[in-house]
Protein backbone atom coordinates (compact mmCIF):
# COMPACT_ATOMS: atom_id res chain seq x y z
CA UNK A 1 0.00 0.00 0.00
CA UNK A 2 1.32 3.44 -0.97
CA UNK A 3 1.11 5.99 1.79
CA UNK A 4 0.04 9.40 0.55
CA UNK A 5 2.08 12.25 2.04
CA UNK A 6 0.41 15.36 3.37
CA UNK A 7 1.22 18.36 1.20
CA UNK A 8 4.00 20.47 2.60
CA UNK A 9 3.48 24.15 3.36
CA UNK A 10 5.71 25.01 0.40
CA UNK A 11 3.67 22.81 -1.94
CA UNK A 12 0.39 24.34 -0.72
CA UNK A 13 1.79 27.84 -1.23
CA UNK A 14 2.96 26.92 -4.76
CA UNK A 15 -0.46 25.44 -5.57
CA UNK A 16 -2.22 28.56 -4.24
CA UNK A 17 0.08 30.79 -6.28
CA UNK A 18 -0.48 28.73 -9.45
CA UNK A 19 -4.25 28.87 -8.90
CA UNK A 20 -4.18 32.65 -8.39
CA UNK A 21 -2.06 33.11 -11.52
CA UNK A 22 -4.53 31.02 -13.52
CA UNK A 23 -7.44 33.03 -12.10
CA UNK A 24 -5.72 36.31 -12.95
CA UNK A 25 -4.98 35.16 -16.48
CA UNK A 26 -8.61 34.21 -17.11
CA UNK A 27 -10.66 37.06 -15.65
CA UNK A 28 -12.24 39.52 -18.04
CA UNK A 29 -11.16 42.68 -16.20
CA UNK A 30 -7.89 44.21 -17.27
CA UNK A 31 -5.22 43.74 -14.60
CA UNK A 32 -1.96 45.55 -15.19
CA UNK A 33 1.08 45.40 -12.88
CA UNK A 34 3.55 48.27 -12.86
CA UNK A 35 6.93 48.68 -11.18
CA UNK A 36 7.87 51.68 -9.02
CA UNK A 37 8.62 53.69 -12.21
CA UNK A 38 5.17 52.91 -13.66
CA UNK A 39 6.63 50.55 -16.27
CA UNK A 40 4.26 47.70 -17.17
CA UNK A 41 5.54 44.36 -15.82
CA UNK A 42 2.42 42.22 -16.28
CA UNK A 43 -0.59 42.42 -18.59
CA UNK A 44 -3.41 39.86 -18.43
CA UNK A 45 -5.86 38.57 -21.05
CA UNK A 46 -8.50 41.11 -19.98
CA UNK A 47 -6.03 43.93 -20.75
CA UNK A 48 -5.28 42.34 -24.13
CA UNK A 49 -9.00 42.26 -24.96
CA UNK A 50 -9.73 45.80 -23.72
CA UNK A 51 -6.75 47.57 -25.29
CA UNK A 52 -6.09 45.34 -28.31
CA UNK A 53 -2.43 44.82 -27.37
CA UNK A 54 -0.72 41.54 -26.52
CA UNK A 55 1.28 41.28 -23.30
CA UNK A 56 4.55 41.20 -25.28
CA UNK A 57 3.64 44.56 -26.84
CA UNK A 58 2.75 46.21 -23.52
CA UNK A 59 5.35 44.92 -21.06
CA UNK A 60 8.32 47.27 -20.74
CA UNK A 61 6.37 50.43 -21.65
CA UNK A 62 4.94 53.01 -19.27
CA UNK A 63 1.18 53.22 -18.99
CA UNK A 64 1.29 56.87 -20.06
CA UNK A 65 3.32 56.27 -23.25
CA UNK A 66 1.38 53.18 -24.28
CA UNK A 67 -2.18 54.13 -23.29
CA UNK A 68 -1.88 57.95 -23.19
CA UNK A 69 -3.44 57.88 -19.72
CA UNK A 70 -5.18 61.04 -18.53
CA UNK A 71 -6.80 61.42 -15.10
CA UNK A 72 -10.35 62.77 -14.83
CA UNK A 73 -11.24 65.09 -11.95
CA UNK A 74 -7.76 64.91 -10.42
CA UNK A 75 -4.29 65.64 -11.70
CA UNK A 76 -1.65 62.93 -12.02
CA UNK A 77 0.42 64.32 -9.15
CA UNK A 78 -2.52 64.16 -6.75
CA UNK A 79 -3.26 60.56 -7.80
CA UNK A 80 0.37 59.53 -7.24
CA UNK A 81 0.44 61.33 -3.88
CA UNK A 82 -2.73 59.49 -2.79
CA UNK A 83 -1.19 56.19 -3.90
CA UNK A 84 2.04 56.83 -1.98
CA UNK A 85 0.27 58.08 1.17
CA UNK A 86 -2.60 55.58 1.38
CA UNK A 87 -1.35 52.70 -0.75
CA UNK A 88 -4.25 53.02 -3.18
CA UNK A 89 -5.93 55.23 -5.76
CA UNK A 90 -9.33 54.84 -7.34
CA UNK A 91 -10.67 57.03 -10.12
CA UNK A 92 -11.65 57.46 -13.73
CA UNK A 93 -9.06 57.60 -16.48
CA UNK A 94 -9.18 58.12 -20.22
CA UNK A 95 -6.93 55.83 -22.18
CA UNK A 96 -6.42 54.85 -25.81
CA UNK A 97 -6.77 51.43 -27.37
CA UNK A 98 -4.52 50.09 -30.13
CA UNK A 99 -6.64 51.64 -32.88
CA UNK A 100 -6.57 55.07 -31.16
CA UNK A 101 -10.12 54.97 -29.78
CA UNK A 102 -10.42 56.81 -26.45
CA UNK A 103 -12.10 54.93 -23.61
CA UNK A 104 -13.04 55.91 -20.08
CA UNK A 105 -12.14 53.30 -17.47
CA UNK A 106 -12.67 52.97 -13.73
CA UNK A 107 -9.25 52.13 -12.31
CA UNK A 108 -8.17 50.96 -8.89
CA UNK A 109 -4.46 51.05 -8.15
CA UNK A 110 -2.99 49.25 -5.14
CA UNK A 111 0.65 49.56 -4.04
CA UNK A 112 2.06 46.20 -2.98
CA UNK A 113 5.47 45.05 -1.76
CA UNK A 114 6.91 41.84 -3.13
CA UNK A 115 9.04 39.36 -1.16
CA UNK A 116 12.14 41.45 -1.81
CA UNK A 117 10.39 44.52 -0.38
CA UNK A 118 10.08 46.25 -3.76
CA UNK A 119 6.92 48.29 -4.23
CA UNK A 120 4.79 47.07 -7.08
CA UNK A 121 1.59 48.53 -8.40
CA UNK A 122 -1.40 46.45 -9.38
CA UNK A 123 -3.98 48.24 -11.48
CA UNK A 124 -7.40 46.73 -11.80
CA UNK A 125 -9.48 48.21 -14.58
CA UNK A 126 -13.11 47.49 -13.93
CA UNK A 127 -14.76 46.99 -17.31
CA UNK A 128 -16.96 43.99 -16.49
CA UNK A 129 -19.18 42.57 -13.79
CA UNK A 130 -16.82 39.72 -12.85
CA UNK A 131 -16.28 39.52 -9.09
CA UNK A 132 -12.59 39.94 -8.34
CA UNK A 133 -10.88 40.04 -4.99
CA UNK A 134 -7.21 40.13 -4.12
CA UNK A 135 -6.17 38.39 -0.93
CA UNK A 136 -2.92 37.75 0.86
CA UNK A 137 -1.71 34.27 1.79
CA UNK A 138 -3.39 34.47 5.20
CA UNK A 139 -6.76 34.91 3.47
CA UNK A 140 -7.18 38.61 4.27
CA UNK A 141 -8.89 40.63 1.52
CA UNK A 142 -6.64 43.36 0.08
CA UNK A 143 -8.85 44.63 -2.73
CA UNK A 144 -12.37 44.05 -4.02
CA UNK A 145 -13.90 45.27 -7.29
CA UNK A 146 -17.38 46.54 -8.22
CA UNK A 147 -18.39 43.11 -9.53
CA UNK A 148 -17.64 41.60 -6.11
CA UNK A 149 -19.57 44.44 -4.44
CA UNK A 150 -22.60 43.58 -6.60
CA UNK A 151 -22.26 39.82 -6.10
CA UNK A 152 -21.69 39.80 -2.33
CA UNK A 153 -23.38 43.04 -1.28
CA UNK A 154 -20.42 44.58 0.58
CA UNK A 155 -18.73 47.80 -0.48
CA UNK A 156 -14.96 47.72 -0.81
CA UNK A 157 -14.22 49.82 2.28
CA UNK A 158 -16.39 47.56 4.46
CA UNK A 159 -14.80 44.27 3.34
CA UNK A 160 -11.08 45.04 2.87
CA UNK A 161 -8.83 43.65 5.63
CA UNK A 162 -11.39 40.99 6.64
CA UNK A 163 -10.63 37.32 6.16
CA UNK A 164 -12.31 35.82 3.09
CA UNK A 165 -14.04 32.97 4.90
CA UNK A 166 -15.28 35.25 7.68
CA UNK A 167 -16.49 37.92 5.25
CA UNK A 168 -18.32 35.61 2.86
CA UNK A 169 -19.80 33.27 5.47
CA UNK A 170 -23.57 33.01 5.16
CA UNK A 171 -25.45 33.76 8.39
CA UNK A 172 -26.75 30.66 10.14
CA UNK A 173 -24.50 28.25 8.23
Query: Rounded mean pLDDT of 5-18?
Result: 70
Establish if 17 belongs to a structural domain: no
pLDDT band at 163 (very low <50, low <70, confident <90, very high): low
**pTM exceeds 0.85:** no
pLDDT band at 20 (very low <50, low <70, confident <90, very high): confident
Neighbours of 149 (CB within 10 A): 16
Give percent of the chain with pLDDT exceeding 70. Answer: 65
Establish if 55 belongs to a structural domain: yes
HEC string for the chain = CCCCCCCCHHHHHHHHHHHHHHHHHHCCCEEEEECCCCEEEEECHHHHHHHCCCHHHHCCCEHHHHHCCEECCCCHHHHHHHHHHHCEEEEEEEEECCCCCEEEEEEEEEEEECCCCCEEEEEEEECCCCCCEEECCCCEEEEECHHHHHHHCCCHHHHCCCEHHHHHCCCCC
Residues 101 and 142 in one domain: no
pLDDT tens, residue by residue, 87-115 = 888 888 899 999 999 998 888 888 776 66
pLDDT surpasses 90 at 10: no
Let me know: does 69 contact 93? Beta carbons within 8 Å. Answer: yes
Query: Rounded mean pLDDT of 76-86?
Result: 85
pLDDT band at 128 (very low <50, low <70, confident <90, very high): very low
Establish if 9 belongs to a structural domain: no
| Predicted pLDDT at 28 | 78
Establish if 58 belongs to a structural domain: yes
pLDDT surpasses 50 at 172: no
| Predicted pLDDT at 164 | 57
Higher pLDDT, 64 or 130: 64
Residue 40: give the domain boundaries. Answer: 28-127
Residues 38 and 114 in one domain: yes
Q: What is the CATH number of the domain that holds 100?
A: 3.30.450.20
Q: Cα separation of 104 and 22, whole Å?
A: 27
Residues 50 and 80 in one domain: yes
Question: What is the tally of structural domains in the chain?
Answer: 2
Residues 66 and 117 in one domain: yes
Amino acid sequence: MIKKEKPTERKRAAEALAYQAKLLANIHDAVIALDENFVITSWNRGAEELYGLKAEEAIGHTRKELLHTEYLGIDRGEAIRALRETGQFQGELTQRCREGRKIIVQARSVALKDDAGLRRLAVLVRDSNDAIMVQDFSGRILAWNLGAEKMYGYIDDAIVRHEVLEALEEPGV
